[in-house]
Structure formats: structure tokens, C-alpha cells
Amino acid sequence: MDDHTMDIYHTEVADQLRGQNMGKKLVEAGVNYARENHLKIAPSCTFAKTVFARNKDYRDVLA
């Protein structure tokens, strides 16, 4: 990791919010933050890795 790379290392949502795409929204918020701050993301969270693998639009911030 360096000063221009962030890690999404864990995502968790409350039980009552599961199944509402909140996990994806958390990852999306991280992607938006990275874009706004000219950062890259090296996700270590299994869920975040899956979201990145399924969404080609996020490749611009993938480290």
C-alpha cells in the first residue's frame, strides 16, 4: 500500500439491510471517494473483490 492506494478490507451491513444491495452501495461509495481523491483501490475483502470483478466500470480505480 502507498499514499495513493486504499484498501476495502471489510464490508458489513446490518441484518435488516441485507438483500438490499447495501454492500454494493458501500463499495460504490469507496469507488466514488477514490475517484474524487485520485486514489486507487486494492480490495482485500472477498465481497469487494467480487463486486470489482463483476463491474467493469470500476476498473479505472482498481490498483
pLDDT digits (tens, 9 = 90+) for 17-60: 899 999 999 999 999 999 999 999 999 999 999 999 999 999 99
The band of 1, judged by pLDDT with boundaries at 50, 70 and 90, is confident
Residue 8 has pLDDT above 90, yes or no: yes
Judged by DSSP in three states, 9 sits in coil
Tell me the CATH number of domain 5-11+20-61, given options 3.40.50.720, 3.40.630.30, 3.30.310.50, 3.10.300.10. Answer: 3.40.630.30
pLDDT for residue 57: 97
Radius of gyration of the chain (CA): 12
Q: Give the whole-angstrom CA distance, residue 29 versus residue 17.
A: 16
